[in-house]
């Protein structure tokens, strides 16, 4: 059984943030290696991911657990949010995980990386926070679901997205300097997408920066990430591919809202945009949640969007 394993910052018993103050991957790697050394065994393994997002694998663990995504509960006491078993069978797994959380706190309180971060006025990564348990998924590959997509790739800084791409049978492209934050390498990701489009039928390009700014509740930063997304990533891709002989369609959309006012994900409808040479435009000229409600496609649910977009000729 695998779980997402954040390293988070707890202050006075409260979850201060889900990201340990956006700890860097090299710092996190030292912490995860220590956890693997101290808490790992033949059944328990920690794997380094990116920044605060890591992986915990419990061999033989059960996934029937009630867990709390840490980005949903900033400011709340961690004790009441620890893992509960949803079935009697999962009780030993829940106990093991809660034991690991508490033991990680003892180990991380005096970890050199954290002592250094505290000295610099940064948030320490002083607890693990496992959540989202699951077994290896059996996914139908994208080229079986959509036979006109023979070759496809995914570009993201986020391991969750890369993993989904991997299971969907897509090539996973790593871009140097892709951080998942406002300082990501927008130009590098745009270029990687342009290069991939020369050989692939479909490229999924993901940018996490606006989501993270939303979690921080930082309006100014979120605006900047959306502007950068527009001018440094979507713009250059459009400029390039619109010159090609072979038509390229582009869809722009978030995977969910992360309003600054809520600092977490909501399930409200999201705006989307489809560009394709020769497509009939509707009357919407502004890309935002309000304006797009008047869009020509109306309100789509479930896989309707994907079906429409991927059936464009
Ligand atoms: Zn998010």
Helix/strand/coil (H, E, C) string of 152-188? Answer: EEEECCCHHHHHHHHHCCCEEECCCCCCCCCCCCHHH
Domain boundary among 90, 109, 134: 134
Same domain, 155 and 121: no
Domain span at residue 221 reads 142-310
Mean pLDDT of the chain: 96
Per-residue pLDDT, averaged over 139-146, amounts to: 94
**DSSP, res 58:** E
- Cα distance from N-terminal residue to C-terminal residue, the chain: 41
* Cα 88 to averaged position of ligand 1 atoms, centre (Å): 31
**Beta strands at 152-155 and 202-205: parallel, antiparallel or unpaired:** parallel
Instruction: List, in sequence order, the alpha helices (H) in 122-248.
Output: 142-145, 159-167, 186-197, 209-216, 219-228, 235-241
Task: Provide, rounded to the nearest whole percent, the portion of the chain with pLDDT above 90.
Answer: 96
Same domain, 217 and 281: yes
Domain boundary among 85, 118, 134: 134
Residue 107's pLDDT is 98
Same domain, 123 and 147: no
Flag whether pLDDT at 15 surpasses 90.
Answer: yes
Q: Which of 274, 307, 268 is nearest to 289 (CA)?
A: 268
Residues in the chain: 313
Per-residue pLDDT, averaged over 208-219, amounts to: 96
Residue 13's pLDDT is 98
Same domain, 146 and 200: yes
* 44-77 confidence digits (pLDDT tens): 999 999 899 999 999 999 999 999 999 999 999 9
* Cα 269 to averaged position of ligand 1 atoms, centre (Å): 16
Residue 281's pLDDT is 94
Flag whether pLDDT at 313 surpasses 80.
Answer: no
* Cα 197 to averaged position of ligand 1 atoms, centre (Å): 27
- Taking the C-alpha atoms of residue 130 and residue 40, their distance in angstroms, rounded to an integer, is 14
Residue 136's pLDDT is 87
Same domain, 171 and 291: yes
Same domain, 107 and 179: no
Residue 137's pLDDT is 84
Q: Which of 107, 110, 101, 59 is nearest to 80 (CA)?
A: 101
Same domain, 87 and 200: no
Same domain, 224 and 276: yes
Helix (H) or strand (E) holding 46: strand 44-50
* Cα 294 to averaged position of ligand 1 atoms, centre (Å): 27
Confidence category of residue 267, pLDDT binned at 50, 70, 90: very high
Q: Please, which residues have CB less than 5 A from ligand 1, an ion?
A: 211
* Cα 147 to averaged position of ligand 1 atoms, centre (Å): 31
Same domain, 112 and 154: no
Same domain, 174 and 257: yes
Residue in this structure with the two tokens 């909501």, named with its chain if needed? 266
Residue 287's pLDDT is 94
Number of domains in the chain: 2
Residue 55's pLDDT is 96
Flag whether pLDDT at 22 surpasses 80.
Answer: yes
Residue in this structure with the two tokens 């996190």, named with its chain if needed? 28
* Cα 210 to averaged position of ligand 1 atoms, centre (Å): 9
Flag whether pLDDT at 23 surpasses 90.
Answer: yes
Same domain, 69 and 198: no
Residue 304's pLDDT is 96
Contact between 149 and 32 under an 8 Å Cβ cutoff? The reply is: no
Bigger pLDDT: 58 or 159? 58
* Cα 264 to averaged position of ligand 1 atoms, centre (Å): 7
Domain boundary among 107, 134, 161: 134
- Taking the C-alpha atoms of residue 165 and residue 152, their distance in angstroms, rounded to an integer, is 9
Residue 19's pLDDT is 96
* Cα 37 to averaged position of ligand 1 atoms, centre (Å): 30
Give me the DSSP letters along 135-152.
PPP----HHHHSTT--SE
Per-residue pLDDT, averaged over 235-259, amounts to: 96
């Amino acid at each position: 059984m695998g779980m997402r394993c954040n390293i988070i910052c707890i202050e006075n018993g409260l979850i201060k943030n889900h990201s340990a103050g956006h700890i860097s991957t090299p710092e996190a790697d030292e912490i995860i290696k220590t956890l693997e050394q101290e808490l790992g065994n033949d059944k328990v393994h920690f794997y380094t991911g990116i920044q605060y997002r890591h992986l915990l694998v419990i061999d033989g663990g059960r996934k029937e657990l009630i867990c709390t995504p840490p980005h949903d509960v900033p400011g709340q006491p961690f004790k009441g949010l620890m893992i509960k078993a949803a079935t009697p069978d999962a009780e030993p797994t829940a106990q093991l995980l809660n034991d690991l959380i508490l033991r990680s706190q003892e180990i991380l309180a005096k970890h050199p990386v954290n002592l250094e971060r505290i000295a610099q006025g940064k948030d320490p990564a002083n607890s693990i926070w496992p959540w989202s348990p699951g077994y290896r998924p059996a996914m139908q590959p994208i080229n079986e679901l959509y036979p006109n997509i023979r070759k496809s790739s995914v570009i993201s800084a986020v391991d969750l997205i890369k993993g989904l791409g991997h299971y969907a049978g897509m090539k996973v492209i790593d871009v140097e300097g892709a951080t998942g934050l406002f300082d990501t390498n927008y130009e590098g990701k745009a270029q990687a997408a342009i290069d991939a489009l020369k050989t692939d039928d479909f490229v999924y390009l993901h940018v996490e920066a606006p989501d993270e700014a939303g979690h921080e509740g930082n309006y100014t930063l979120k605006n900047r990430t959306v502007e950068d997304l527009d001018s440094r990533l979507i713009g250059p891709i459009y400029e390039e591919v619109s010159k090609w002989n072979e038509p390229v369609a582009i869809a722009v959309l978030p995977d969910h809202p992360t309003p600054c006012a809520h600092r977490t994900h909501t399930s409200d409808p999201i705006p989307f945009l489809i560009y394709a040479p020769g497509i009939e435009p509707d009357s919407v000229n502004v890309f935002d949640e309000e304006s797009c409600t008047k869009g020509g496609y109306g309100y789509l649910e479930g896989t309707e969007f994907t079906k429409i977009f991927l059936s464009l000729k």
